[in-house]
């Protein structure tokens, strides 16, 4: 009974967060055109703001032979760290920069990578280097929600150590 109640509560919350609004014009008026307002500047649309619990996170395809989720996750983390470590090139104008840049990457339902964006960055040349590194990432096995492939956003920290 407790599981059913928790499931119903969770499903209700998901439904509340994901419902689209329906606009009805005031009496005696008409709506000619609706232009959606930007959602947090250049961020995602309100439909993309619906956050659902992911059943299985995406993992690098080279890690598919591993059996458990935690092994696949560790393998994927190691693959990404190796790509970053081997290919990181400091831009000449930012040689004294030290910090972390967070790259946001959408893994689509088919496992392909969406466009990478800087979630939190540093100087422009460092941000460009982080985006270049994100383009080198391998293909992924898609994440899933309720046993169906789902688009999943990964936020990947890229550390730029002191040179």
**pLDDT tens by residue, 106-125:** 999 998 988 899 999 889 99
Residue 65 three-state SS: coil
The domain ranges of the chain are 57-163
pTM of full prediction above 0.85 = no
Is residue 35 pLDDT above 50, yes or no?
Answer: no
Which CATH code for domain 57-163? 3.30.1150
- Residue 57, judged by CB atoms within 10 A of its CB (0-12, 13-18, 19+), counts as middle
Is residue 32 pLDDT above 50, yes or no?
Answer: no
pLDDT at position 52: 62
Mean pLDDT over all residues of the chain?
76
- Percent over 70 (pLDDT), the chain: 67
Task: Give the Cβ contact number of residue 43 at 10 Å.
Answer: 13
Find all residues with CB under 8 Å of 95, minimum gap 6, and list them: 163
Is residue 31 pLDDT above 80, yes or no?
Answer: no
Token pair of 153 as six digits = 């956003």
- The pLDDT tens digits of the residues spanning 49-71 come to 555 667 788 889 999 899 999 99
Task: State the sign of the Cα–Cα–Cα–Cα dihedral 40, 113, 152, 148.
Answer: positive
| CA atoms of 60 and 53, how far apart (whole Å) | 20
């Amino acid at each position: 009974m407790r599981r059913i109640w928790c499931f119903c509560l969770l499903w209700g919350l998901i439904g509340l967060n994901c419902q689209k609004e329906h606009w009805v014009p005031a009496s005696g008026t008409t709506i000619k055109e609706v232009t959606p307002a930007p959602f947090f500047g250049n961020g995602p649309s309100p439909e993309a703001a619906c956050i659902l619990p992911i059943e299985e996170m995406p993992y690098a395809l080279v890690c598919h032979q591993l059996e458990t989720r935690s092994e696949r996750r560790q393998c994927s983390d190691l693959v990404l760290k190796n790509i970053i470590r081997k290919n990181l090139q400091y831009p000449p104008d930012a040689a004294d920069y030290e910090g972390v840049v967070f790259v946001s990457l959408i893994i689509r339902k088919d496992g392909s990578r969406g466009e990478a964006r800087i979630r939190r960055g540093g100087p422009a040349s460092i941000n460009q280097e982080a985006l270049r590194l994100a383009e080198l990432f391998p293909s992924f096995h898609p994440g899933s929600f309720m046993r169906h492939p789902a688009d999943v956003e990964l936020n990947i920290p890229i550390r730029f150590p002191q040179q």
